[in-house]
Amino acid sequence: MEKERIVQELEFKAVRSSGAGGQHVNKVSSKVELYFNVTASNALSDNEKDRIYTKMGSRLTKENILILQSDESRSQHKNKELVIQKFLDLIRTSLTVAKKRRKTKPKRSAVEKRLKSKLKKAQKKTLRGKPKLE
């Protein structure tokens, strides 16, 4: 993954932020929306695109466009930096390949230890019962 090439392919749109904020919020477009077209990307290989489709399929639109937004800060520039960082983290996590799990069995000593402790607890609980009168 080439970070610089991917960042060049991003499209941004400044939108008015929602929520409370008084008169100023109605005049300033501080919220930033990021658009990334996965299908048209030249920075990603076909293998990487397939991995993104499978891992982030629910976050993509029908046209395979990823949309992220940030309105955490009052500054448009800060929001742009935040949304780029969020995007790069998301891409990095979706491209990582998980280790294959190797099947393992518990050791014989661990199984024996577990069974002994179960037997000990069972005996302790039977001793708590009422004594039998014969």
In a domain, 128, yes or no: no
Q: Residue 117's pLDDT band (boundaries 50, 70, 90)?
A: very high
Is residue 11 one of the residues assigned to a domain? yes
pLDDT digits (tens, 9 = 90+) for 10-26: 888 888 877 676 677 67
pLDDT at 1: 64
The mean pLDDT value for 55-63 works out to 88
pLDDT at 114: 97
Q: Is residue 115 part of a domain?
A: no
Residue range(s) defining the domain that contains residue 40: 3-95
Q: Count the domains in the chain.
A: 1
32 in a structural domain = yes
- Residue 132 included in any domain: no
CATH number of 31's domain? 3.30.160.20
CA 10 – CA 13 distance, rounded (Å) = 10
Residue 53 included in any domain? yes
Residue 111 included in any domain: no
Distance CA 17, CA 31 (A): 5
What pTM was computed for the model?
0.69
Residue-wise pLDDT tens digits, 119-134: 999 999 998 988 878 7
**Could you tell me the CA-to-CA distances from 41 to 5, 33, 66, 111, 132 in Å, in that order?**
9, 18, 12, 53, 80
How many residues in total does the chain contain?
Answer: 134
Torsion of CA 15, 20, 21, 24, to 10 degrees: 50
Cα 47 to Cα 119: distance, rounded to the nearest angstrom: 53
DSSP result, 115-133: HHHHHHHHHHHHHTSPPPP
Closest of 29, 19, 32 to residue 86, by C-alpha: 32
Report pLDDT digits (tens) over 62-111.
998 999 998 888 888 999 999 999 999 999 998 888 899 999 999 999 99
